[in-house]
Amino acid sequence: MNHNEQLSIIMPAKNEAEGLALFLPKLTSLYPNAEIIVVNDGSTDKTESVCIENGVKVVCHTYSLGNGAAIKSGAREASGDILVFMDADGQHKVEDIAALLEKMEEGHDMVVGARSSVTQASVARRFANFFYNRLASIMTGHKIEDLTSGFRAARARHFRKFLYLLPNGFSYPTTSTMAFFRSGLTVAYVPIEAGKRAGKSHIKIFRDGFRFFVIILKVGALFSPMRFFLPISASIFLTGLFYYSYTFFTMGRFTNMSAVLFISALLVFLMGILSEQISSLHYKDIEGSQRRAKR
């Protein structure tokens, strides 16, 4: 990392006193000059007092707003040029921060710690993460190795542009990764081994898994509309073509259902074109702010 760049380490925490007590001393020892921010998301345990004892900055939510909301609060509070996000439950190793920063030196805008499959909590989560990674890769056109990893480093000036997109729940990694890719910002991965968390996970596989799926579709539709609408339009058109062929050869006529399918395919295609035009306005704003930041 450039010696002129400041580092801010941000950790969302909800009832994570046990995990914070274990690794905050090590974190402050290895990075004494970094700005360390713990966002206390309405904890009812000793999270705040543990942070104060270790001399780190605490941002408090009076009640729980969600993991994504904590990330946004921390990013707004941070003064560093490079933001490092990590969980407060002890899963992420302090030593791995150096690997993220080293990769950032190559000129990347975001570096994500990609967990190996053996460190995933369960078979269900391994399968879910594989599915999300594949779907997001299709939507963005880039290979995504770990879509849901909360351990990442990003350039603050870029990350803050997407704060309005980030949901308040657990899917901030999903949204930020896809937003960076689709905005032409470089994203790299470094392999990490995630440890066993301290305490109980707040993520519900089915509830939050469905939310991740919806977020992928929403962000994909925002940043790459034709990748979303074109396959749908094509599938409807092919269905209509197959049905028309069937009715033509069996009954010798063009049915109303065939007409409905062809018209639906056309409407979905036109929606994609319109969305693409709207999306281009979003890119224009981002590219303009990037040029101003370089001056």
The answer to whether position 131 is within a domain reads yes
> Would the pLDDT of 190 be above 90?
yes
| Conformation bin of residue 141: beta by default, left when phi > 0, alpha when psi is -120 to 50 | left
Q: What average pLDDT does the chain have?
A: 84
| 145 lies in the same domain as 288 | no
One DSSP character per residue, 57-116 reads: EEEEESS---HHHHHHHHHHH---SEEEE--SSS-S-GGGHHHHHHHHTTT-SEEEEEEP
> Would the pLDDT of 211 be above 70?
no
pLDDT digits (tens, 9 = 90+) for 152-188: 999 999 999 889 888 887 778 888 887 888 778 999 9
| 231 lies in the same domain as 169 | no
Q: How far apart are the first and last CA of the chain?
A: 21
Number of domains in the chain: 2
Residue 155 has φ and ψ, to the nearest 5°, of -75, 125
| 210 lies in the same domain as 231 | no
> Would the pLDDT of 206 be above 60?
no
Highest mean pLDDT: which range of 78-87, 144-153, 220-229: 78-87
The answer to whether position 2 is within a domain reads no
For the full predicted model, state whether its pTM sits above 0.85.
Answer: no
Residue ending a domain, among 204, 220, 236, is 220
| 71 lies in the same domain as 204 | yes
| 95 lies in the same domain as 27 | yes
| 275 lies in the same domain as 142 | no
| 151 lies in the same domain as 247 | no
The answer to whether position 1 is within a domain reads no
Residue ending a domain, among 220, 239, 264, is 220
Q: Which residue range(s) make up the domain with 258?
A: 225-294
| 117 lies in the same domain as 255 | no
Residue ending a domain, among 202, 220, 238, is 220
pLDDT digits (tens, 9 = 90+) for 92-131: 899 999 999 999 999 999 999 998 765 555 566 667 777 7
